[in-house]
């Protein structure tokens, strides 16, 4: 089994696996784990890093300069071992670089550094993608943390009392997900003002996708009880997903998203994909604050 890295602050203890640089647990001072436990009966992920693509591609194909490459949903980083570059008591940095195997899927010389850092009750993650090659490199990226539903510390309140409260009102239509995992047509939002009341039936047909969110931050939990604050400045899309009946809710800030239904173009033309010049780097950051009431 891969050795986990443990980070600690007065408020939280966090474990991270070098496999995918993925969070494994986020435990507070009372011993309560806020992160999904990866129960394979429902979903084995916990907080995968999505690179170099988010979601599904049409027919599973990415097109780079007219050439076609088969690429799995969410890319390959989440299933690849990273090197541990630097470990401190409250932070760790992992690194993934291109290889012969990766270039057969994604034909670019890249570096992906992922740093998890604790500051009290705040867990910040910063992913830095660097183009190590001599040609322009398009890259997609996303976060996929799975928080428990119901959350710990909610006083026995039921799942149906949990909600998401956005930083701004969200009146725009949302996007659904097709049976092929692509982004479907717009449909009326279930968000009322700045609140999404959570229920399993919302996810009967996969994720809710906000492709024009006004907010770059939100709070998740039961009002007047400890919840989770999620901040994602610089990430322009948001997915919300769970399997009905499962004990988690994924709140997923993305820089890019799955292919739109009917899209057959170049990977670089997908919404949110960043194209890096040779030697250029780009940061993707999110932060989660645990145990904060609204």
- Per the omega criterion (within 30 degrees of 0), is the bond before 52 cis? yes
Domains present along the chain, CATH in parentheses: 5-151+250-292 (2.70.98.10)
pLDDT at 2 exceeding the cut of 70: no
Q: How far is CA 75 from the centre of its chain?
A: 12
Structure confidence by residue, pLDDT tens digits, 34-76: 999 999 999 999 999 999 999 999 999 999 999 999 999 999 9
pTM (2 d.p.):
0.97
Contacts of 101 (CB under 8 A, 6+ apart): none
| Closest CA relative to residue 89, chosen from 7, 165, 183, 205 | 7
Structure confidence by residue, pLDDT tens digits, 72-96: 999 999 999 999 999 999 999 999 9
Structure confidence by residue, pLDDT tens digits, 209-230: 999 999 999 999 999 999 999 9
Helices vs strands, H then E, count in the chain: 1, 24
CA dist., res. 279 & res. 271, Å (int): 23
Cβ atoms of residues 231 and 219 within 8 Å: no
CB atoms within 10 A of CB 260: 17
Query: What pLDDT, on the 0 to 100 scale, is given for residue 112?
Result: 99
pLDDT at 202 exceeding the cut of 80: yes
Band (pLDDT 50/70/90 cuts) for residue 154 is: confident
Contacts of 96 (CB under 8 A, 6+ apart): 21, 77, 80, 82, 83, 111, 112, 114
């Amino acid at each position: 089994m891969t050795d986990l890295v443990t980070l600690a602050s007065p408020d939280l203890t966090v474990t991270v696996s070098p496999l995918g640089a993925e969070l494994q647990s986020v435990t507070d001072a009372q011993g309560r784990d806020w992160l999904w436990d990866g129960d394979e009966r429902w979903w084995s992920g916990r907080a995968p890093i999505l690179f170099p693509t988010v979601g599904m591609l049409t027919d599973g194909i990415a097109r780079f300069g007219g050439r076609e490459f088969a690429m799995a949903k969410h890319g390959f980083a989440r299933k690849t071992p990273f090197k541990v570059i630097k470990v401190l008591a409250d932070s760790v940095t992992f690194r993934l670089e291109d290889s012969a195997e990766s270039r057969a899927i994604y034909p670019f010389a890249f570096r992906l550094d992922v740093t998890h850092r604790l500051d009290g009750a705040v867990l910040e993650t910063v992913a830095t993608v660097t183009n190590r090659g001599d040609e322009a490199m398009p890259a997609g990226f996303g976060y996929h943390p799975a928080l428990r539903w119901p959350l710990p510390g909610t006083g026995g309140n039921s799942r149906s009392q949990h909600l998401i409260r956005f930083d701004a009102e969200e009146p725009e239509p949302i996007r659904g997900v097709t049976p092929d995992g692509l982004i479907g047509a717009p449909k009326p939002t279930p968000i009322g003002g700045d609140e999404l009341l959570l229920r399993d039936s919302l996810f009967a047909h996969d994720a809710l996708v906000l492709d024009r969110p006004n907010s770059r931050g939100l709070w998740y939990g039961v009002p007047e009880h400890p919840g989770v604050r999620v901040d994602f400045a610089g990430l322009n899309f948001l997915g919300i997903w769970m399997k009905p009946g499962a004990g988690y809710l994924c709140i997923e800030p993305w820089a890019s998203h799955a292919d739109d239904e009917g899209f057959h173009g170049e990977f670089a033309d997908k919404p949110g994909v960043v194209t890096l010049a040779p030697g250029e780097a780009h940061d993707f950051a999110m932060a989660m604050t645990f145990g904060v009431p609204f």
